[in-house]
Structure 1
Amino acid sequence: MRIKKYSFLLLALLAISFKSFSQDTTQYIVANRKNSLAQQNKPYVILISADGFRYDFAKRYNAQNLLRLGSEGISTPYMMPSYPSVTFPNHYAIVSGLYPSHSGLVNNTYYDRARKDKYLMSNKAKVADSSWYGGAPLWVRAEQQNMLSASFYWVASEAAIQGVRPTYYYIYNEKIDMHNRIAAVVNWLKLPPSQRPHLITFYLPQVDHAAHLNGPESPEAEKEVHFVDSAVNELQKVVKTTRLKNVNFVFVSDHGMTKVDNKNPIGIPAAIDTSKFVISGDGILVELYAKNKGDIQATYNELKKEAKDYDVYLKSNVPARLHYGTADDWHNHIGDILLIPRAPKVFNLWNNKKINPGWHGYDPTVVPDMRASFTAWGPAFKKHLVVTPFENVSVFNLISEILGLKHTDKIDGTNQLANKVLIKKASKKK
């Protein structure tokens, strides 16, 4: 069996989530937009994501500010990410209310049969191409309803989905320091009411980077947890200087992180004939896309015989809890055969390249370390409330309720979380 070398090089780029592939520090502003008079009276939401901030990191590493803010507002033992528990699908699930299989963004990299092409999070042109994304993120809903939005990074915020980008946005890079990122948010909130964004997304990659490279229980990961804790505290303190009375904060992560057996990875199974399948995925989920449907069953049967330390599924028999099988594949983006390693095992797709000790992507119902964080505070929220765990797609409903955004199309999130944590009629407060 031979796998083309270039495939490994592409997949190697996925080892660390949401890496910097651009150094464009320009703030982009879509001209000639204004909040309607009705929207000017709505609350504000700052949605913060700390990539890879595992559900227990705040307590494990004594993130004092996040613990305090959570105790004053809303907290939960954990938030359940969607499968696969990786960066791009889960960031998009949070803002679209759709499972990855339903939005079409099924992995950080995946193959589109109709295009005969791959989506790669490392390819800036594809990341900015709206045709790869189904559904509508919160900022699209807001802008369509004459409410301005802003993004200091978020998955898909650079793409004109349904022809719409946030009014204010940046192309992802890691050159802008935290002080200037926070200053940009405050400057947005100091704009006149007609120009002021009511939805702001804010992304922090530091914990994910450190935990991948050094492991989730490393001093480096602990250091970045404290950095994020400090940055969030500084952000909420500086926002207070705007004297706006109805600013709400929602702090989330996309997934958790676990230590893997990177010394004894699983090799690519001999049963895979690369002339018959397109291979996509990473060390936690390998997907095979058949060039000829007649080759699927025989290869599946051989893989089942060969499998050790991993499970093999046809798309038609993937466990229903993953929402990743035939019935859920709304965009035909899921592979015909899926190989899923059993934690702490990972596949070696890099031909003996060094494998990082920290990984995510496993089924979060089986591997608790995949669970994500959630904390919220502000005038829209009840005080001192701990809620039972929930799926991340319901964050979409929560923010929609706060901002009074309407939607009629099918989503996977529910209003159960919003009904528990919001003060009644919070979205109508002035």
Structure 2
Amino acid sequence: MKKIFSFCLLVLSLIIFAQKGITDTAQVVIPNRFNNAEPMQKPYVIMISTDGFRYDYAKKYNAENLLKFSNQGVQSKAMIPSYPSITFPNHWSLITGLYPSHHGLIDNFFYDYARKESYAMSKKDNAEDGSWYGGIPLWSLAERQNVISASLQWVGSASDADGMRPTYYYHYHEKFSPSEKVNKVVNWLKLPEDRRPHFISLYFPEVDGAGHRFGPDAKETESAVHLIDEAIGELVQKVNELGLKNVNFIFVSDHGMIKVDGGAPLEIPSILFDKNRFDYYNSQTLLRVYVKNPDEVKKVYKELKANKTDDYEVFLDKKLPKYLHFSTRDDKYNRIGQILLIPKAPKIFLEKGKKTSVGKHGYNPRIVPEMKSTFFAWGSDFKNNLVIREFENVNVYPLVAEILGLKIDEKIDGKLKKMKPILKNKN
């Protein structure tokens, strides 16, 4: 009897283990959504993000397809990420037109004191819970105006943010190759007109992964750039073969990458180890401090500032430069903290015994140019052979809305006037 019971436990354990190891790669389709007559006549926008694709990577590594397409269309000298220059905050800024302090994703990991809950980008329950996400993502803006949308693993696209998911989407995983993703986008564009998405968002993680692991100057990072460049070439060719009218491609990234000084990291000030007085959140390129007793904030700030080294700065969050939009006046969800310790690149804060990656991001892109990201655009609505100066990434949102003829009713931080000059027949 004991042997039978043990065998049953073993079988049950194997079943549970197998279920945990299963990755959900199936497409999710929201039923009963259709383009009506007017949206079927709208242009198409395919918005592609390659995580960690630094502003100079295309030229640095001779990404032939991206250089060719951007030379034919519009290329910015660089795009300026929102602060901090981290993945989740910036993908959500690109897709909502809001700064991180205004949409709530102020980091990849943070604590919400009103909810008394932690958010972690790696937790599916967080990542797909739309109540964490402020703003109206582009797919929601489109769907509410009867324009079908699709997303292939853009940050937050599997969540119910604003109560509206894309009609077609996938849960996040890294099982699909870039070429497989290209084919899925092409298949969406082969759908009947009433079910065909006119806004598609697409995400590639490979360049960021290589940059973190090996650094921005490594052969592995160069190979990742070429891998994505080949996928973009394949995507454009296959889309062109469909013979669709008015197709536009927008290629962006969320941030850049720099090799950090992991061998001589900064020590976290010992005063912050008192959990009765403080919580601190360390992304290594930014350390945020929450002082539990508000009456102590100024005193603690003065102490931290008096004992700092030349390798980092200490700010009261309300004294942070206004152009970063990351201070008390901006903190809509009260998630940032009152004191910020900001390392000077390539320095990082690192807890004793912990390791870091070779490459990192998160620094102020106005001071550390390696943080700057990429913007290329080409297609039916974009001018040809145009190079533009740097601009903030929140301005991409109103650009896409303008191309698709979508009305923006809620206040955003992005400004259409900064982007209109790159569009044909737009004054």
- TM-score class, shorter-chain normalisation, is over 0.9
Say whether 1:296 aligns with 2:297: yes
Dislocated runs of 4+, deviation >4 Å:
none
The residue that corresponds to 2:12 in the other structure is none
The residue that corresponds to 1:235 in the other structure is 235
SS of 1:303's equivalent in the other structure is: helix
Say whether 1:53 aligns with 2:48: no
Distance (Å, rounded) in 1 between the aligned partners of 2:99 and 2:230: 31
Say whether 1:395 aligns with 2:396: yes
**AA partner of residue 107 (structure 1):** D
Contact 2:178 2:204 in 1 (8 A): no
Any residues of structure 2 matched to 1:346-361 within 5 Å, and which?
346-349=348-351, 351-361=352-362
**AA partner of residue 291 (structure 1):** K
Any residues of structure 2 matched to 1:21-420 within 5 Å, and which?
23-272=23-272, 273-308=274-309, 309-349=311-351, 351-420=352-421
**Deviation of the 1:179 alpha carbon:** 2.6
SS of 1:271's equivalent in the other structure is: helix
The residue that corresponds to 1:12 in the other structure is none
**Deviation of the 1:425 alpha carbon:** 6.1
1:86-125 superposed Cα distances (whole Å, 9 cap, x missing partner): 0000001011000101111111111211012221111110
- 365-374 or 322-331, larger mean C-alpha shift: 322-331
Distance (Å, rounded) in 2 between the aligned partners of 1:413 and 1:67: 26
> Larger Rg: 1 or 2?
2
Q: Structure 1 residues 260, 45: CA separation in 2 closer, same or farther (over 3 Å shift)? A: same
**Deviation of the 1:339 alpha carbon:** 1.0
Contact 1:284 1:361 in 2 (8 A): yes
SS of 1:402's equivalent in the other structure is: helix
Contact 2:134 2:162 in 1 (8 A): no
**AA partner of residue 100 (structure 2):** P
1:348-384 superposed Cα distances (whole Å, 9 cap, x missing partner): 03x3222211010000000000000010000111110
**AA partner of residue 423 (structure 1):** K
Distance (Å, rounded) in 1 between the aligned partners of 2:282 and 2:172: 23
Q: Structure 1 residues 22, 282: CA separation in 2 closer, same or farther (over 3 Å shift)? A: farther
Contact 2:51 2:254 in 1 (8 A): yes
The residue that corresponds to 1:18 in the other structure is none
Query: Once superposed, what is the RMSD of the aligned Cα atoms?
Result: 1.4
Contact 2:316 2:338 in 1 (8 A): yes
Distance (Å, rounded) in 1 between the aligned partners of 2:171 and 2:63: 29
TM-score, with structure 1 as normaliser: 0.92
Q: Structure 1 residues 22, 141: CA separation in 2 closer, same or farther (over 3 Å shift)? A: farther
**Deviation of the 1:401 alpha carbon:** 0.6
Contact 2:313 2:342 in 1 (8 A): yes
Distance (Å, rounded) in 2 between the aligned partners of 1:257 and 1:266: 19
**Deviation of the 1:312 alpha carbon:** 1.0
Residues paired across the two proteins, number: 405
1:288-328 superposed Cα distances (whole Å, 9 cap, x missing partner): 12222123222212111121111111122111121100111
Contact 1:109 1:281 in 2 (8 A): no
Contact 2:178 2:228 in 1 (8 A): no
Contact 1:110 1:119 in 2 (8 A): yes
Distance (Å, rounded) in 2 between the aligned partners of 1:178 and 1:68: 19
Gaps of 5+ in 1: 1-20
Distance (Å, rounded) in 2 between the aligned partners of 1:235 and 1:247: 12
Distance (Å, rounded) in 2 between the aligned partners of 1:126 and 1:38: 36
Contact 2:260 2:347 in 1 (8 A): yes
**AA partner of residue 341 (structure 2):** L
TM-score, with structure 2 as normaliser: 0.93
Distance (Å, rounded) in 2 between the aligned partners of 1:316 and 1:163: 32
- 132-141 or 303-312, larger mean C-alpha shift: 303-312
